Amino acid sequence: MPRAVPVDRKCRIPHHRPVSPAQQRPSEQRPVSGPRAFRFLLNRQAGGGSAARAAAPVARRLRSAGAEARITQSAGAEHCRGLIPGAVARGEIIVAVGGDGMVGSLAGAVSGAGGTLGIVPAGRGNDLARQLGIPRAAAANADCLLRGRATRIDLIDVTTARGADVVAGSVYAGVDSLASALVDRAPRFIPAALQYHYAAVRALASFPPRQYIVDVDGSSHRFRGFTTVIASSGFYGRGMHIAPDADPADGMLDIVMVSAGSRARLLRALPRLYRGDHVALPDVTVLRGREVEVRIEDRGEKLEAWGDGDRLGRLPLRASVRPAALEVLVPRVAQ
């Protein structure tokens, strides 16, 4: 395994806190002044209607405060993305209602339209909201949308065999891809927290290690392992702190590589993922960079990359950071 590159902690955005003005240049953070108008976008079929149930009380509070709040329920992300340019042109703040997949699917379109994104966490993972300190409770979330501060975060441009995508949180290819597929198929009556834990254990117990080639800013690294994670935000898998030093506003990507050491040791170490101290394990290496390419050497093997909880496409993948690409509303004070 390659030697880990020391991570600069000075610019790190602490999780469960919004980005502070001291951590960004003046051009990257600002208050949003004047009346706010909001366009809530959600998938009516996602989560058995959980997005609609989450949006309604937040929208009521916004209207009670004198803001405009329109809710659009769509059958899919593509339709939602098509509504964004017009809504932004009318001065509406786009509010993504759902989980990380919904946020990631809209982030690129909001960025491209020059808009501002609000988030109502209503999915199973909500990991970007966790990183940014965005609350789930309706009253606190409405306050964030009304009085929160607009800050800029990075996005990840990703290309796989399927094509191009934009990811807001992290991209991964390996055992966590299998775990995401298992979560995707999990019955909805199983609590979300149990879905992720069950999927992680089952995937790690059965996933065959692969021979990875990971190029970071032109430097090539080969290892036999379980996964490679490319992270802008530190959390994935419903609170697993996979890249504890990742900062979504520093213009860098954290690359976490887990080698094929003892499977039993990694299974025992799963609780450490939530604390973020798994990076001290001998099987884990963390690098940093701006451009990453991931492929596998195993002949005939196919491995899919996932991002923000959604399937992207088969390897090889290329990922590059797009610094300060998205303006997002975060709380003014720590939650």
Looking at residue 294, its pLDDT comes to 98
Domain with CATH 3.40.50.10330 in the chain: 32-147
Q: What is the torsion angle, in degrees rounded to the nearest 10, for the CA atoms of residue 175, residue 99, residue 45 and residue 164?
A: -60
The CATH classification of domain 158-324, taken from the options 2.102.10.10, 2.60.200.40, 3.20.20.100, 3.30.70.360: 2.60.200.40
Write down the residue that tokens 């900062």 correspond to.
Answer: 247
- Three-state SS for 138? helix
Looking at residue 196, its pLDDT comes to 86
Sorted by sequence, the CB contacts under 8 Å of residue 280 that are 6+ apart come out as none
Looking at residue 264, its pLDDT comes to 87
Looking at residue 318, its pLDDT comes to 98
What is the spatial distance between Cα 140 and Cα 54, in angstroms, rounded to a whole number? 13
Give the global pTM: 0.88
Q: Which fold has domain 32-147?
A: Rossmann fold (3.40.50)
- For 238: left if phi > 0, alpha if psi spans -120 to 50, otherwise beta; the answer is left
- Phi, psi values for residue 237, rounded to 5°: 60, 40
Looking at residue 29, its pLDDT comes to 53
Domain with CATH 2.60.200.40 in the chain: 158-324
- Three-state SS for 204? helix
pLDDT in tens, the chain (335 residues): 444 444 433 334 444 444 433 344 433 455 555 568 999 999 877 666 889 999 999 999 999 999 999 999 988 888 999 999 999 999 999 999 999 999 999 999 999 999 999 999 999 899 999 999 999 999 999 999 999 999 999 999 999 999 999 999 999 999 999 999 998 887 777 787 788 888 998 998 899 999 999 999 999 999 999 999 999 999 999 999 999 999 999 999 999 999 998 888 888 889 999 999 999 999 999 999 999 999 999 766 789 999 999 999 999 999 999 999 999 999 987 55
Looking at residue 213, its pLDDT comes to 98
Q: How many CA atoms lie within 13 A of 304 on its CB side?
A: 14
